[in-house]
Every structure is written in C-alpha cells, then in structure tokens.
Structure 1
Amino acid sequence: MNALFLGMACILAAAAGYWVFGRGTPRPAGAWAMGALLASFAAAFASYSPLVEDTVEAVVPHVARLLSNSASLAAATSVLAVSFQVNLPREEARRRTRSRVGLLAAAVSGMTLLFAVEQMAHRSPQVYALYLLLFIAYLGFAVVDFLRQALLQSRSSRRASVRFGFRTAAVGCGFALVYTVYKLTVLVSLGLGFHLFPAHSKCSSLVAGPCVFSVTSPALAVLLICVGLTLPAVAYPLAQYRRRRWEERSFEALAPLWQDMAQAMPQIVLAAADLGGEVAEEPDFLLQRRVIEISDGILALRPYRSQQVEEAANKLSPDQGEKRAAFVEAAVVKDALAAMRVGRFPRVAAAPATADASARKSLRDDAEWLLLVADAYAQHGPVRVADDGRTESVGA
C-alpha cells in the first residue's frame, strides 16, 4: 500500500509542478486551479499511506485522519475551481471559486477545532460525530456540485476528449458519493449507538471491509477525477502531433502530382509569402499551399480535359464511390497534362470533377480528396482511347 499511494502522490505532485511552473509557455486560464487540484490529490494519496500516517501520528496522535480529510476537502474544492474555469465566464468562475474557498476554510477550521476538542475529551464519540457531520456536509455539497457540472459539460462540449474526461470524472464522483454515504452511515451509527464500524481502525487491505469504503472508494474517486480532468490537457498535444504528422505525410504524398503540374504550368506555383521562416515552414501552411497550387493546376487544365478519357476511365476503374471518382480524375488530369505539352485539344471537353465538391469545406477535406487523386495518379498509367473506341490502361 505504501508503494501504491506514495507512488501516485509523487506522480501527481510532479504533474502539479508541471502545470504551475514547468510548462515553458504562458500559463493558460485555470493553471493555478489545476495545480492546486493535483497537489491536493497528491496530499490525499500520501495521507492514505500507512508510512505517512505512522510518521505524522508519532508527532501528533491521531492527526492523520484530520490531514486526510482536509486534503480530500481541498481536492474537492480544487475540482470545483477547475470545473468553474471550464463552464463559466471568467468573473463568475472567480466569484464562485472564492465562495467555495471560503467554505473550505470554514470547514477545515471547524474540523481542526473539533479534532482538538475530541482529543482533549478522550476521543469523545459525540465530538467525533460533529466532526464527521461537518466533513460530510461539505464533501457531499462539493461532490454533487461538481457532478452536476461534469454531466453538463460532458453533453455540451465539442471536444471528444473533454466529453470523455468529464464522464470519467463523473464516475469518480460516484465513488466519492459511496465514500460520503459510508461516512454518513458511520455518523448515524455513532448517533444511535450501534457502532456498526470499529472506530479509529487502521486499514491493511484495499478490499477488506470497511476499508473498501473508507480508503478504496476515495482513492478511486481521486484517481478517476484526476484522470478525467487532465485527459483533455494530455489529449490535445497528442492530437496536435498526429495532425502535424498527417500534414507532413500528405505534403509528401502530393509531391508527384504537384511536380508534374509545376513543370507543365510554372505559373501555378505561388510566390514566396512575406512570412517569417518559422511560419513558412509550418506543415499546415505548406500543405495548404500545395493544395491550392494543385487545385489551380486542375483549373488551368480545363480546356484539355477529354470526355472520352473520362468515360474510358469510368469503365476501367476497379473501385466504387470516391475512389472511383479519384481514379477517373487522375486519368483525366494525366491525359490533360500530356495534351497541354503538345498543344492538343480534345474533340469533346470533359467537365471539371465535382465529386463531393459541396461536402469539401475544409483544408483537410480538399487534401484528402487530392490524396486519393494523387495516389491513383502515381499508381496507374494513362488511359488510352483507340480510334475504334476501345479503351486500355497503359502501365504507369
């Protein structure tokens, strides 16, 4: 148990330091709230460790419970602060965060006072019950408040990682509510004198009752809420990396088609932009430029597009749907480039390709269509139409 809880505490503390100090870029809105959340979770995990518990109780007897409960309430407040940053306007988020921090300070102060009275009263059950009541009241309020916002955000967010993250956090709230109900049951047991659970007992197993409620449930709640709230921050750079890799590969995949067009029509190559070197070398900028140049080249080839070649390519295409349209477009473009070089115009000109043109509303849509055309262009030879109307595909 020491290795598990202390290991998680170290990981969370390192993550908190990264959010607050080590990002290397200007801190985004909510960075301090996220840092406080991770630091509170780290303290909560550390407080569950028997090693930490024995160490602090060697200095102040029975104080580990107070530290653990205070860390749990601080974590719950930090979770609320992060959710306010995500869900609410800036000023409203600040106002609500201040009010929750005030409630936290009052709850922790009251718990500390009741803990001291409990120890002076030789661990009075009545004082302990008041301590539990204060702890449960604030924790239950914070969990329900966050659960409501997590469910709202999981339905309204446009980013899939945010939706999934808040749903994961909502599951963590479920475990937190299990822990809250357990504490409430302990409180009722004390008040009625049933003593259903041994008071002030220590846990040696994560699955033995009542430790599964007193330790495992809050630990799972901390873990799931932490993962849920940090997932979007981890998923975003990964998504950016994947996007850049796709842009780089797409830029290279379009090279054969672009080179043939640029050689035949040098005018389609855009002049060097008046941009800084770093911007001009960005993959999205390079890909967008290449897509525009190829699209301009296809427009310039309109007088040389052959309807006969288009019909022949339709008959020869082994594919269906968009791949078939890309095969036909590649064949028409290849024939049109050859016709431009020798100044030959077709007897019947073909119309420009319009396959799914209305659906292509972004750079990625245009690039994906041209990638299909470029792939067919590179893999298949030109389509020839004999004088007797027969068609054949010449090797690439």
Structure 2
Amino acid sequence: MVAIFASLWVAFAAYAPAGRYVVESVIPHGSRLVSNCASLTAATAVLAFMFQISDPDTARRRIRLRLIYLISAVSVMSGLFVAGDEDRFSPQLYALYLFVYVAYLGITVGEFLVQTWKQSFRSRRTSQRIGLRTASVGCASALVYCCYKIFTLVSLGFDLGLITHGYQCSSMVTPVRCTFSVAAPAIGVLLVVFGLTLPALAWPLSQLARKRWETRSFKALASLWSELVEVSPDIVLTPAGSGEVAEDDADFFLHRRVIEINDGILTLRAYRSGRVQHATTHALAQLGEADTLRGHATVEAAVLKDAVRAKHRGLKPNGDIARPAPGTDKREGNLRAETEWLLLVAKAYADSDVVRATTTETAQEKEVVSTP
C-alpha cells in the first residue's frame, strides 16, 4: 500500500506545474518519463497487493517476476528517452516508447481487473466485495486510457497525423483528448485506491458499530430478561449475567442473555394461553398489523406476559396451549436474527397497548373463574 500511494503521488506530482519544474530542473523534459515510470510502479504494486489476497503461497514468486518485468520496461523506456532527447524524440522513437509503456500497463491492469472481479465473488465480507468490484471498474477506466494510448501509438507509428503531439491540457476534459489521457486514468486511480482501502476502513467501523449494537441490545433486553428470571431463576447461567457489560465483551454477554431468554420462554410452555394468542391476533387484525413481523412479535409478547403472570399465580390455561410464533422455524439461527426478534418482543412486552389490554382482560377472566 505504501508503494501504491507513493508511486501514484509521484505520477501525478510530476504533471503538476511545481512538480514538473522540479523534475525538469534535474532531467530536461523528464516529467513525462518520471510520471510514466511511477504509473507502471503503481500498477505493479496494485497487482502485488492482489497477489497477496488471492494466493499468498505463490505471491512472493509472482511479485519477483513482476518486478523483473517492471525494471526491464523502465530501463527500455529510459533508454528510448535518452536516445529520443538527442533526436528531439522522433515520432518513431516516441511510438516505441509508448508501445513499451502501454503494453506493460495494459497487461498489468487487465490482469488485475480479472483477479479483482473473480476474487469479489469469493469474498465473504460485503465491504471487500464492493471494494474489489469498485477496483475492477477503476481498471476498466484505466484500460480506456490504454486504448487511447494505443490509438496514439498507431497514429504516430504510421505517421497518420490523427493525434497532435505536444498539446497542453487546460483541464481534465479540455480539449476532448484530455478526457482519455488525463480524466480516464485519474478516475481509474481514484476508484482503484478507494476500492482497495474500503475494506480496511469499513472493517473497524463495522466492528465498532456491531459492538455498540450488541451493548444496546443487551441493555434493551434487560426488562424482558428480568421478568423471565423472576419466575424461572434457574435459567441464569452464572450470576454475572445480570451485571454491566463492556463493549469488548458485548458479544459474549449478549449471546448468554439471548440463550437465557429463550430458555425462559421454554419453561413457560405449559402456561402459554392459546386464548390470549387468538385475542391479540384479532385485535391486531383490526389494526391491520396481524400479518407483519412486528405483529407476530406483539402476539408473542402478549402470550409471554400472560404466561409469566399465570406462573406467578400457579394458573395453567384451561384451553389450548399457544403455538410458537409464526416464522420461528424459518428464522436464521444466528445471534443477530435471534436478537432482533427478541428486541421486537421485548419492546411490545413493555410498551404495547394491545398487549396490555388483552393480557389484563384475560387475567380478569381467570380471576373470576378461579374465585369460589
């Protein structure tokens, strides 16, 4: 990565007025050579980066081979530059210079494009997939630049006069030729650099966001967890389960809290009232929320709230036992899916007016039935 950024900085700095002045004060007319050699170095460094990702076992050998190719290309270009300077860089020598430059750059960029595109399908991390595909788009933009250079090469080699030599770019798109000679490689470089650095930037940010989500979720489930522990204290794995949690340990503590809540739900199976389930579903149907995920969570919260109250009083339902919530078997069995479901249940358990109304009504009916 250091080689990539350093060589790209040299490549663009050599074209800037200040950089051109510094370079050409040492090497007359040498800003183009310095920029082109730095561009080839950057392309080689990018490909070496990809070798490390795709096949670390063979990366060292493949990188050494690419370095030999790079040194050879730079040596030939430097030799042609020296020979051309004495002859004021004739079109033929300049065409040969361009051929070496474009051939090496095009082959390297093309190989990198193929590798990034293939590797993006094997990557598990979303940021890495997006980054590699962004780099692939950047390579495509760089290949547009290579195609333009080949067009220039043909024009100069056969003296067709299709490209005017020695024009100056007032911007990245003016004249139009600068779109291909300046804008295309600049966009390609930006996309490649962004694509390669995105996973490194996204990973720590995603981990920080995950830890904060785990900490918030752990605290948000505390109320539901306390209700279940009160009627089923044996579900607590260790006394530390009720303590504060640091972000570094959030994953472990959240796992344990989710397991304990699910264990608590299992201990209430005999107290799950089918009547409460039907009443809550009917109430939600009138509100148009019966067949939504939030609606299913509200029904489950009502069933649990009634079951906790029934176990407190030792009253088992006289009717049908409530079935598990819809979609329970289809839900992914990972921490995030289980937590998100329990968060919906916990919120409805604490705040839903429908849950409060149906469970209160059912509790009153049970008291009437149980009164001698």
Normalised by the length of structure 2, the TM-score is 0.87
Contact preservation (8 Å) 1:312, 1:385? no
Query: Which of 65, 80, 98 is equivalent to 2:47?
Result: 80
Q: How does 1:150-299 map to 2 (within 5 A)?
A: 150-209=116-175, 210-271=177-238, 282-299=249-266
Matched residues, number: 353
Give me the whole-angstrom Cα distance separating, in 2, the residues matched to 1:308 and 1:366. Answer: 26
Give me the whole-angstrom Cα distance separating, in 1, the residues matched to 2:154 and 2:270. Answer: 87
Aligned twin of 1:49: 16
Q: Secondary structure at the match of 1:385?
A: helix
Q: Secondary structure at the match of 1:359?
A: coil
Contact preservation (8 Å) 2:91, 2:159? no
Give me the whole-angstrom Cα distance separating, in 2, the residues matched to 1:228 and 1:140. Answer: 19
Normalised by the length of structure 1, the TM-score is 0.82
Give me the whole-angstrom Cα distance separating, in 1, the residues matched to 2:34 and 2:126. Answer: 36
Q: How many Å apart are 1:279 and its aligned residue?
A: 8.0
Q: How many Å apart are 1:351 and its aligned residue?
A: 4.2
Aligned twin of 2:90: 124
Amino acid at match of 1:378: A
Q: Secondary structure at the match of 1:334?
A: helix
When residues 342 and 174 of structure 1 are mapped into structure 2, their CA distance, relative to the original with a 3 A threshold, is same
Q: How many Å apart are 1:281 and its aligned residue?
A: 5.2
Amino acid at match of 1:364: R
Aligned twin of 1:357: 328
Aligned twin of 1:14: none
When residues 281 and 110 of structure 1 are mapped into structure 2, their CA distance, relative to the original with a 3 A threshold, is closer
Give me the whole-angstrom Cα distance separating, in 2, the residues matched to 1:280 and 1:128. Answer: 61
When residues 281 and 301 of structure 1 are mapped into structure 2, their CA distance, relative to the original with a 3 A threshold, is farther
Q: How many Å apart are 1:384 and its aligned residue?
A: 2.2
When residues 116 and 297 of structure 1 are mapped into structure 2, their CA distance, relative to the original with a 3 A threshold, is same
Contact preservation (8 Å) 1:165, 1:232? yes
Query: Which of 301, 305, 308 is equivalent to 2:275?
Result: 308
Aligned twin of 2:369: none
When residues 302 and 66 of structure 1 are mapped into structure 2, their CA distance, relative to the original with a 3 A threshold, is same
Query: Which of 318, 324, 349 is equivalent to 2:295?
Result: 324
Aligned twin of 1:335: 306
Over the matched positions of the two proteins, sequence identity in percent amounts to: 48
When residues 125 and 374 of structure 1 are mapped into structure 2, their CA distance, relative to the original with a 3 A threshold, is same
Contact preservation (8 Å) 1:326, 1:372? yes
Contact preservation (8 Å) 1:304, 1:349? no
When residues 77 and 94 of structure 1 are mapped into structure 2, their CA distance, relative to the original with a 3 A threshold, is same
Aligned twin of 1:28: none
When residues 280 and 153 of structure 1 are mapped into structure 2, their CA distance, relative to the original with a 3 A threshold, is closer
Q: How many Å apart are 1:68 and its aligned residue?
A: 0.5
Amino acid at match of 1:348: G
When residues 56 and 226 of structure 1 are mapped into structure 2, their CA distance, relative to the original with a 3 A threshold, is same
Structure 2 runs not aligned, ≥5 long: 367-372
Contact preservation (8 Å) 2:211, 2:247? no
Give me the whole-angstrom Cα distance separating, in 1, the residues matched to 2:360 and 2:12. Answer: 69
Q: How many Å apart are 1:173 and its aligned residue?
A: 1.7
Q: Secondary structure at the match of 2:227?
A: helix
Q: How many Å apart are 1:64 and its aligned residue?
A: 0.5
Aligned twin of 1:104: 70
Contact preservation (8 Å) 1:107, 1:135? yes
Structure 1 runs not aligned, ≥5 long: 1-33, 390-396
Q: How many Å apart are 1:38 and its aligned residue?
A: 2.3
CA offset digits 1:193-220 (Å, max 9, x no partner): 2343333444332211332222222111
Matched, 1:375 2:341: no
Contact preservation (8 Å) 1:85, 1:93? yes
CA offset digits 1:87-139 (Å, max 9, x no partner): 2x212222222211211111111111221222233333332222111111101
Give me the whole-angstrom Cα distance separating, in 1, the residues matched to 2:158 and 2:329. Answer: 72
Q: How many Å apart are 1:163 and its aligned residue?
A: 2.6
When residues 182 and 192 of structure 1 are mapped into structure 2, their CA distance, relative to the original with a 3 A threshold, is same
Give me the whole-angstrom Cα distance separating, in 1, the residues matched to 2:247 and 2:42. Answer: 45
Contact preservation (8 Å) 2:281, 2:290? no
CA offset digits 1:285-329 (Å, max 9, x no partner): 221111111111111122222222222222222422332322221
Give me the whole-angstrom Cα distance separating, in 2, the residues matched to 1:272 and 1:127. Answer: 81
Query: Which of 295, 311, 315 is equivalent to 1:344?
Result: 315
Give me the whole-angstrom Cα distance separating, in 2, the residues matched to 1:281 and 1:180. Answer: 49
Contact preservation (8 Å) 1:172, 1:220? yes
Give me the whole-angstrom Cα distance separating, in 2, the residues matched to 1:386 and 1:238. Answer: 48
RMSD: 2.5
Give me the whole-angstrom Cα distance separating, in 2, the residues matched to 1:77 and 1:315. Answer: 67
